[in-house]
Structures are given as C-alpha cells and as structure tokens.
Structure 1
Amino acid sequence: MIAPPELVLANVAEALRDDEIHVWRVHYRQALGRKPLCEVLAAYLDVAAERVALVDGEHGRPALTAPHDPSLGFNWSHSGEHALIAVGRNVAPGIDLERARPRQRSLEIARRFFSADEAAALARLPAAARNAAFLELWTAKEAVVKALGRGIAFGLDRFSVASDAGQLRLRYLQGDDVDAWQLRRLELDPDLVAAVAWRGDARRIRFGTLASGE
C-alpha cells in the first residue's frame, strides 16, 4: 500500500507535532543497510539523505550526531522485507517488528528470560494461541528496551507486559514508574507483529507506508 497524498513523507515530516509519533513502513533489503532510515530522517531534518550522520550508542541504538536537531528522536526495526521507522520530537521511541512464524520453544524461552508472571500467563494458554501471544510479548518487550536505549541484555525479566482487552500495558518496570510509559500495538498485516513504546505523555500515532524508492 502506498501512502495516500496527505501522508507523503515530506508533507508529514514538515508537520510533525510535539504530541505525535510518526511511524513509517518501508520496504527493506539487507543490502540497503541504513539507507531507508536516513532517507526518512532526511525529510524531518530538511537535509539530503547523504548528509544524515548517525552514531551508535553504547548498546547499539543509532542516534543523530551534531549539528542535527537534538530534539528529533527515532528508532527502527526490520524483519524480512519490511521495516518500521518511528520518529518524534523530544521523545525516544522504541519500536520492534517481527514476522509471525512458529516458535517451537516459545514457552521454554519465556520461562528462561521473561518475568515469572508473563511465563505463567503464556503457560495457561492453549498451545494454538501461545505462539501469537509470545510474539506480542516479545515485540512489546523489545520496544521497551529499545526505548530505554538498552538491548535485551538489560534483562527481559526486569519488567512485565500484559495484554488487557486487546491493549498492551507495562505492568512493572524495575526502578521506574510504569505510569510514565506508553506502549502500543501496531496493526499491520496478519503475518507481522509490531509494537512501539516511549516514556512520556500519550501521543497520537500517525502511520504511513512509503513505496520503494520514495
């Protein structure tokens, strides 16, 4: 799906509000590297894509270098031929995307790495429903650790995510106030699972899809 006229990248980038997070879906190939990310960021920075300068943080999260606008926060995730890029002002979003595929060891992984209540919730589910629930938890937890600026080495058992009435909720986060956090499921294709997280006030998520080469 190509973004409708009102969601053309340059137009939306120019109109980024402080109470929004923009999420772009782009085509991805490994050979492209960070080119799709730089092209999206270039529209928000009003520079040519080749002038976008990134540096990896201590835990691998990319960040803009000076003299780029320090208020612009972003994150991205890719899986197979798909990528998602989240952009916002004065916020550090974390986003994760996974293809829906069977995980034969999902319960074993959850018991080893997730919080005890998450693993117990998965164990109570019928086997047929467990894989989808595991993927939803996994993407939500990845989004949170990316928003924290940390990798999974932070410890996936140091916080807990629940899905209540179809809504994701951060139930516990060691050393932090969960009420200060936002966690959202992103509705994509049936074979894709995604979530975005950030610390701060609730924001509107504005979603668009870019055609290859846009």
Structure 2
Amino acid sequence: MRIIFIIIGIAVSVLLLLAIYRYIVVNIQNRKLNKVRLGRIEPIYQKLRNGLEVREDEVLSFASDLLTRKITFQLLKEYKKLELFPNIFNTIEKGAETDLANWLEFPTELDACPDELELEEKVTIDFDGNKVCYCVFKFRTYEPHWAAKDGWMLGVVGPYFDDSKPYDFVSVFSRFTSKQAEISAKEEAKWFHENIAMVR
C-alpha cells in the first residue's frame, strides 16, 4: 500500500512540476510576443506618447494589418483618438479576424499569422432565449510551415451579443484538426459554444 502512495505522490509531483513549467514558459512567451506587438506600432505609439499629431493615413496602414489592428484600436482608445480609427475596420467581423490572427500567432498555437484567413460564416446560436453569434473563419498556411499540409482549417471567435462591440474581449479557438472540408462552420461553432465559450 505504501508503494502505491509513493507512486501516486511521484505522479502528482511530476504533473505539478509540468504545470508550473508550462505556466512559466507561456508567461515568458507572452511577454516576448507583447513586446514584439508593441514594437510593430512604435511609430504611432511614440507620436501619441509625445503629443504629436497622428494622421489618418498613418493609422490606416496599422489598422489594415491583421496583427496590428487590435493593438492600434486599443492604443487610440487609450489616448482618446478613436476618431482616427477607420470605420471599415470597426466591425465585429474585422475585430474577430484580428483576434483570431493574434491568437494563432502565439507559439503554443499556430506560431504564425496564417497566410490566408477568410470569414467562412457568422453562426447564430440560441442561448437561454438569447441569440449569440460566432464568427467562423477558415485559414491556412503555406510551406514550409508545419500546418501547410493540413490545408484549410477552421477557427472560431465569439460569442457576440446584440450589444457587443468589435474589440470587446471574446474567446478564440481552433482545434487545427477541423478541416474546412470535413466539418461545417455551424458544427464547429456549436462545438466551440458548448466546449469553450460557455464553459467557465
């Protein structure tokens, strides 16, 4: 009996050490990536920080980029300059698109922004008498990325409610194995709703 307790103790200790290691590594990676992301918008960040004029055409180039769109919005909001953010990118779909791209870039996920990312479908699901909406995207990478062989995959962003704003906090996820040809956008949104978005 004592041996069983020792084995259980060792197993629990190993799992605990792995969890601590993963937590530390993910935090280090997150800090590095956040530094890179802030560096991408350095030109307008420095201008805003120093009280200099930022032109709409300068903002447009950052808002157009999937990887700088959300942080540009957040920066302009912080400096009370949201009027400079282009309306064309101030939609739920464009907010969801940049959320997915930024999530996929994280090293524990795709570790890259996809080469192609397209809105597949907006899926509405009934939830306790309310309607919630999910944006389902298809994305793919090109060689030599490890996921290129998988072709199109699905990613889901949401939930969005009637009063949601484009850059509100939402859940983002992709199973990477859900090839666009093998599962419908509705099925993937339903799985996401039941297993990610509404699980607290």
Q: TM-score, normalised by structure 2?
A: 0.38
Greater strand fraction, Structure 1 or Structure 2: 1
RCO comparison, higher one (Cα < 8 Å, 6+):
1
Bigger radius of gyration among the two: 2
Greater helix fraction, Structure 1 or Structure 2: 2
